[in-house]
Amino acid sequence: MRVIRVGTRKSQVSLARIQTDSVVATLKALYPGLQFEIIAMSTTGDKILDTALSKIGEKSLFTKELELALERNEVDLVVHSLKDLPTVLPPGFTIGAICKRESPYDAVVFHPKFVGKTLETLPEKSVVGTSSLRRAAQLQRKFPHLEFKSIRGNLNTRLRKLDELQEFSAIILAAAGLQRMGWQNRVGQILHPEECMYAVGQGALGVEVRAKDQDILDLVGVLHDPETLLRCIAERAFLRHLEGGCSVPVAVHTAMKDGQLYLTGGVWSLNGADSMQETMQATIHVPAQHEDGPEDDPQLVGITARNIPRRAQLAAESLGISLATLLLNKGAKNILDVARQLNDAH
């Protein structure tokens, strides 16, 4: 029986492990003749817990060790939160599947004494924890009466810090992570795009494989969700063209409706005072799966999807690039450069 080895971040009841298990369960159901073995390892991001993510400056914080294992042929595939995967992958790797997206929104979890409140109704100067510049910039602008402070650690750690220390009135987390952990009951408020747009790829899982490993590419390719894939190609192309990363506040919102893909993208200064956002749309028909076509260089923004028509993928990529170009022409580069410099200086 062929064994497929799956790499994941080490931590017992962690989100990374739960996400990996869910993808493996789907694969097992699709391929009852194969055996799947999960191999867990520690990553840099898991080891450096006392520094804000945006300060560490390493894009591949949670992925590097896992990619090394892929490269050395110790594992065949790795499951990531798509938002942790840089828009340019190291040579030799590709995202072979993007699974159906769960909620891409951010959620607010309140300290027990503030249950029933919203960010709007929290007392003046309440401290809200978030590890993301994107969230802090947008929410500072929207809720000037609150203070935003960095909080690190996995989901369990952050919830413990919220509940046990009297430091935070609330923390902001991705709704999808809370959902996957079965902690929906802690969600006190879901932030809608007008309050806080989400990160590129948020809520979706990506399966990273060796770019030349045709067997594994074919194996995981069936996991591609066409709508999620096209939305995420547009989002990743937008971010890549802006040259944004963890160290600048960039956010998006996408929707697919009646053959139209809508992409809203924005950039913010660190304190949220300066901002710029625009929306564009493109006609894209979400294909029925498995329309095959010959491919030369199949990768787009790090993604390989041979079973989704190339034309639809290129249209999505082009939408992301056009929106980024529009923002750059309107002066977004200046906002991002200043944000980057300030973040590096702190």
Cα–Cα distance measured from residue 260 to residue 116, given in angstroms and rounded to the nearest whole number: 37
CATH architecture of 106-190: 3-Layer(aba) Sandwich (3.40)
Q: Do the Cβ atoms of 135 and 106 come closer than 8 Å?
A: yes
Contacts 24+ apart (CB under 8 A), 254-258: 255/231, 256/227, 256/230, 256/231, 256/284, 256/286
Q: Do the Cβ atoms of 131 and 155 come closer than 8 Å?
A: no
User: What is the CATH number that goes with domain 3-103+200-345?
Assistant: 3.30.160.40
Strands (E), the chain: 3-9, 35-41, 77-81, 93-98, 106-110, 127-129, 147-149, 170-174, 187-191, 205-210, 250-257, 260-268, 275-283
Q: Which pLDDT tens digits describe the chain residue by residue (346 residues)?
A: 799 999 987 765 588 899 999 999 999 999 999 999 999 887 655 555 555 545 444 445 566 778 889 999 999 999 999 998 889 998 999 999 999 999 999 999 999 999 999 999 999 999 999 989 999 999 999 999 999 999 988 888 899 999 999 999 999 999 999 999 999 999 999 999 999 999 999 999 999 999 999 999 999 999 999 999 999 999 999 999 998 666 689 999 999 999 999 999 999 998 888 999 999 999 997 665 555 555 555 789 999 999 899 999 999 999 999 999 999 999 998 998 888 888 877 6
Span 211-259, pLDDT tens digits: 999 999 999 999 999 999 999 999 999 999 998 666 689 999 999 999 9
Q: Do the Cβ atoms of 78 and 67 come closer than 8 Å?
A: yes
Number of neighbours of residue 198 by Cβ within 10 angstroms: 25
Which residues of the chain form CATH 3.40.190.10?
106-190
Cβ neighbours for 185, distance < 8 A, ≥ 6 positions apart:
none
Span 54-84, pLDDT tens digits: 544 444 556 677 888 999 999 999 999 999 8
Q: Do the Cβ atoms of 268 and 249 come closer than 8 Å?
A: yes
DSSP state of 100: P
Three-point CA angle 321, 325, 326, nearest 5°: 120
Which residues of the chain form CATH 3.30.160.40?
3-103+200-345
Burial of residue 72 (CB within 10 Å: 0-12, 13-18, 19+) is: exposed
Catalytic positions, written as ranges: 84
Predicted TM-score (pTM) of the model is: 0.90
Which amino acid is present at 62?
F
| pLDDT in the model for residue 10 | 76
